[in-house]
Amino acid sequence: MSINLLNLAYFSPTGTTRKILESIATGIAPAMTEFTDLSAAGAELCFDQKQPELAIIGMPTYAGRIPPEGANLLKRFLLHFFELNPAGKNFTFVATIF
Ligand SMILES: Cc1cc2nc3c(=O)[nH]c(=O)nc-3n(C[C@H](O)[C@H](O)[C@H](O)COP(=O)(O)O)c2cc1C
């Protein structure tokens, strides 16, 4: 499958989740990659500006769960998933434990 636009969205306070998503992206070899850093203050998980063909969302595991900031971003995104993605785009979710 050839991907034109891939979006890597990650909540990654110490950078490992981002590195893992970048490695996955290398394997996918899309024409273009956009990055959404969810660790930045005020960041939102939202793809309605420019629809990627594939989005990979990565969150780490801290103390047995996704950190509350990341979980809240994910909840808000999932509440609007079908509204934001009427064409049924592909989303992949990765939780890092490395
Ligand atoms: C304080 C702390 C708590 C962690 N708790 C867990 C855990 O409960 N389970 C787990 O599998 N990994 C745990 N980890 C490992 C992290 O999930 C792993 O290092 C992750 O890749 C960090 O992601 P990030 O570099 O993108 O922030 C913990 C790491 C830290 C620093």
Number of domains in the chain: 1
pLDDT at 96 over 60: yes
Whose CA is closest to atom 10 on ligand 1? 97
Residue 81's CATH number: 3.40.50.360
For the segment 57-85, what is each residue's pLDDT rounded down to a tens digit? 899 999 999 999 999 988 888 777 666 66
pLDDT at 53 over 70: yes
54-60 sheet: strands from edge to edge: 32-37, 5-10, 54-60, 90-96
Nearest CA to ligand 1 atom 15: 97
Q: Which atom of ligand 1 is nearest to the CA of 19?
A: 26
Ligand 1 centroid distance, CA of 62 (Å): 5
Is residue 29 over pLDDT 90?
yes
Cβ of 14 closer than 6 Å to ligand 1, yes or no, is yes
pLDDT > 90? residue 16: yes
CB 98 less than 6 A from any atom of ligand 1: yes
Stated as kind and residue range, the H or E segment containing 81 is helix 81-84
Structural domain that includes position 65: 5-96
Question: What is the residue-averaged pLDDT of the chain?
Answer: 83
In this structure, of 29-33, 51-55, 62-66, 94-98, the range with the lowest mean pLDDT score is 94-98
Q: Which helix (H) or strand (E) holds 96?
A: strand 90-96
d(CA 6, CA 52): 5
